[in-house]
Amino acid sequence: MRKWQCIVCGFIYEEANGLPEENIAPGTAWEDVPSDWLCPECGAGKQDFEMIEIV
């Protein structure tokens, strides 16, 4: 499972956790998140997210 970070505000979407409060089930791959989904923190679109590596 990967993690994606909003380059605008730093919010992190974790595929393993999903976002149940936004009707995105745990285990939902980034590719399966709706294309019109917006960052819950700042309203940025999916195009403003980058995959990150946590070390």
Separation between Cα atoms, residue 19 and residue 41, nearest integer Å: 12
Annotated binding residues, as ranges? 6, 9, 39, 42
Residue 47's Cα: distance from chain center in Å? 10
Please say whether the beta carbons of 12 and 47 come within 8 A. no
Binding residues for Fe cation, by number, are: 6, 9, 39, 42
